[in-house]
Amino acid sequence: MKRRMTWKLAAAAAMVAGLPMAALAQAGEPIKIGAAAPKTGPLAGGAAVTHWPAIKMWVAQVNERGGLKMKNGSQRKLELIEYDDRTNPGETIKAVERLITQDKADFIIAPYGTGMNLAVAPVFAKHGYPQIAVSAITDKTEELAKRYPTIFFTLGTTTAFANSVADVLGKLHKDGKIGNKVAMVNVADAFGIELAEAARPIFKKHGLDIVYDKSYPLGTQDLAPVMKGAKAANPDAFVAWSYPPDSFSLAELAKIEGLNVKAYYSAVGTPFPAFLGKYGKSAEGVLGAGGVNLDAPEMKGFYEAHKKLSGSDADYWAGPVTYASLQVLEQAIEGTGGVDRAAVTDYIKKNSFKTVMGEWRFKNQTIENFWTVGQWQNGKFHGVASTNKPGEKPVVLKSGW
C-alpha cells in the first residue's frame, strides 16, 4: 500500500496563517521523491536497516532546514512517496512505472537489492531518471553504464569483493594462521551467484582450496543441511555470499554445529547492529561485507544524527552509503538549481561530492574507492579491507563461538 509523507516541522502548519507573503514566496511546491523497496518478503529486514532509515533521515533533515535551494532563490521541501515491492523484481518495475506515470515523481531513489536494480535500470533510463544504485554489486558496471546512461554504482564490484576476501584469507594462510581449505556457500540470486562465480578462480589464484561449494534458493528457511555439509568438509575458513536472514541463520547454525573456523565470513547483514545484539561476544572476529572508518569525523556525525532521528543505530556499511547517495542527489539538484533530470544526471557525472563516505567522484558512472571487508572487533564493525580507503584495521582471528 502506498503512503505519502511530507516531512515538515510540526509547528509549520500552525504558523502558515501568520507568515508574511514574502516568506510564503520562498516556499515552492514540494519535490516528489519516489521510493520502491521491500517492506515485506525475504529482503524486508535488510531494507528496514540500511535503506528506509537513511532515506527518511535525509528527507527529515532537508525539510527541517527549509528544503532544497532552487536557482530562483526559493526552497522546496521533499514529499516522499513509498511503495513496498515485496522483494519481487516484477513488483519493483510496476512500482517504479507507477511513480513515473501516475505519481509524477521528480526523482526516484534506486531500489534495494542487486536484482531489483538491474531489473528497473531500463525503466529509469527510458524516462531519464538518475538511478544512484547502492545495494547493487556487479562486475557489469562498465557494460551497464554504457547501456543505461542514467545509472550510477556506489557499492563496488563482485571481483573487488571476492578479491578482498581472498586477500584476507590468503594472507592469513601465508602467515601460517589458517589452512587453505574453504567452505563456500551462496544465495542463488544475481548477487550470490555472481560473487560465487567470481570467487572460484580468484580463491584458487590465492592458493585457497574450495572444499565445499553450495548454493541455496533466496528465502530458504532451513539452512541446516548447508551448514552440516560445510562442517563435514572440515574447512579452515567459511565464506557465505549471503543476505541478512541467511547471515543470521548461518551464524546460529555454525554455533550449533561447532564450526569453529578461525576465519568466518558472511556478507549482507553481518554489519547490522542486530548481529552484535543477537550474538554478543560470539560475534567477535566475524568478517562480513563492507565496513566503515569509524574514526572519520563525518562518519561520527552520521551515526549521532541517525540515532537521534530514528532512535536506532545505523549499520556499518550500506546505510551510510545509501545516505551518501542521497547527498549526491541533493547536491546535484541544488547545483543545477532545479528538477531537470537530464541536468541533474549530467551534473552527477561531471562533479565531485562531499559525503559521509568521504569525497565521491564518479568515473564511468562508478565510485572506485569503497569498503569491501569489515570485522567485528570489540563491539564495533571496523573496515579491514577496501579499494584504497583510509582507516583499515588489522584482521584478527576468530576464537570459537
Q: CA dist 377 to 20, 151, 187, 383, 385, Å?
A: 55, 35, 26, 10, 14
The answer to whether residue 393 is domain-embedded is: no
Same domain as 198, residue 225: yes
**DSSP per-residue codes, 302-369:** HHHHHHHHHSS---SSHHHHHHHHHHHHHHHHHHHTS--HHHHHHHHHH-EEEETTEEEE-BTTB---
Give the other-Cβ count within 10 Å of 215's Cβ: 16
Residue 396 lies in a domain: no
Strand-pairing partners, residue 323, are none
Per residue of the chain (401 residues), give pLDDT as tens.
444 443 333 333 333 334 443 344 346 899 999 999 999 999 999 999 999 999 999 999 999 999 999 999 999 999 999 999 999 999 999 999 999 999 999 999 999 999 999 999 999 999 999 999 999 999 999 999 999 999 999 999 999 999 999 999 999 999 999 999 999 999 999 899 999 999 999 999 999 999 999 999 999 999 999 999 999 999 999 999 999 999 999 999 999 999 999 999 999 999 999 999 999 999 999 999 999 999 999 999 999 999 998 888 999 999 999 999 999 999 999 999 999 999 999 999 999 999 999 999 999 999 999 999 999 999 999 999 999 999 999 999 999 99
Judge if 195 and 307 occupy the same domain: no
Evaluate whether residue 118 is within a structural domain: yes
- Asked if residue 104 belongs to a domain, the reply is yes
Q: Which of these, 62, 38, 35, lies nearest to 48 by C-alpha position?
A: 38
Residue 140 lies in a domain: yes
R_g (Cα) of the chain, nearest Å: 22
Same domain, yes or no: 45 and 62: yes
357 and 275 both lie in a single domain: no
Q: Has residue 283 been placed in a domain? A: yes
Q: What is the CATH number of the domain that holds 265?
A: 3.40.50.2300
> How many domains does the structure of the chain reveal?
2
Identify which of 276, 328, 273, 320 has the alpha carbon closest to the alpha carbon of residue 300: 320
Residues 18, 70, single domain; the answer is yes
* Same-domain pairing of 138 and 205: no
Closest CA to 127 of 281, 390, 323, 341: 341
Instruction: Mark whether 287 and 208 lie in a shared domain.
Output: yes
Contact at 8 Å (CB) between 325 and 134? yes
Distance, CA of 248 to CA of 271 (rounded, Å): 11
**123 in the same domain as 14:** yes
Report the C-alpha gap between 285 and 77 in whole angstroms. Answer: 44
Gap between the Cα atoms of 110 and 54, Å rounded: 13
What is the rounded CA–CA span in Å between residue 371 and residue 386?
Answer: 4
Residue ranges in 51-88 assigned as alpha helix (H): 52-64
Same-domain check for residues 247 and 382: yes
346 and 360 assigned to the same domain: yes
Q: Which residues constitute the domain of residue 164?
A: 158-292+372-386
Helix/strand number for the chain, H first, E second: 15, 17
